[in-house]
Amino acid sequence: MSRHDRKFMRRAIALSLKNAAGTDGGPFGAVVVKGGRVVGTGSNNVTASRDPTAHAEIVAIRAACRKLKTHDLGGAVIYTSCEPCPMCLVAILWARIDRMVYGNTRADAAAVDFDDAWFYKQVSLPVHRRALPAKRLLGLEAQCAFRVWSRNPRRVPY
């Protein structure tokens, strides 16, 4: 842990406390730090924005990417008031964030009706065993976009 971890974690907790007292969303806050400075913050605003993806971590990642004008947050640390749900965890991984520091655990969240165990289980199941019915259709046609992408000399890998 860095010497600044407590300071940035307290900032994420402050965002979660502010949100807990309001109606914008759940009691969650997140801060993205790169090079020792805050580059993005976020509070859960699922209900205010009517966006189920507007979790604190996602909001903070989006803000950091806008500020830094990049999709790659390599070298950054995310401080989050709670261990992330599967969506947020995967977003953190996709953003290439180097390290995560969190406050509350998944069990703590479940105790106040934010239980994401079902989502974690669904992600680990084979597609045909998930609760969401899914059927593959026009796979060969869909693969055309992958062929075009793989030959595009201007593509930006991520």
Each residue of 106-129: pLDDT tens digit? Answer: 999 999 999 999 999 999 999 999
Q: Is 57 a catalytic residue?
A: yes
- 101 in Cβ contact with 8 (< 8 Å): yes
Rounded-to-integer distance, Cα 13 and Cα 81, Å: 5
> Tens digits of per-residue pLDDT, 20-53?
999 889 999 999 999 999 999 999 999 999 999 9
Q: How many helices and strands, by DSSP H and E, does the chain display?
A: 7, 4
In the set 12, 57, 59, 84, the catalytic residue is 57
User: Where does the pLDDT of residue 97 fall: very low under 50, low under 70, confident under 90, or very high at 90 and above?
Assistant: very high
Which residues does residue 53 pair with via DSSP β-bridges, in sequence order?
none
pLDDT above 80 (res 2): no
Arithmetic mean of pLDDT over the chain: 96
Rounded-to-integer distance, Cα 82 and Cα 19, Å: 13
| Joined tokens for residue 105 | 């655990």
> Tens digits of per-residue pLDDT, 56-74?
999 999 999 999 999 999 9
| Joined tokens for residue 132 | 């969401």
Q: Could you give the angle at which helices 56-68 and 86-94 cross, rounded to 10 degrees?
A: 20
Question: E strands along the chain, which residues?
Answer: 29-34, 37-43, 76-82, 99-104
Q: What are phi and psi of 33, to 5 degrees?
A: -125, 135
Helix (H) or strand (E) holding 78: strand 76-82
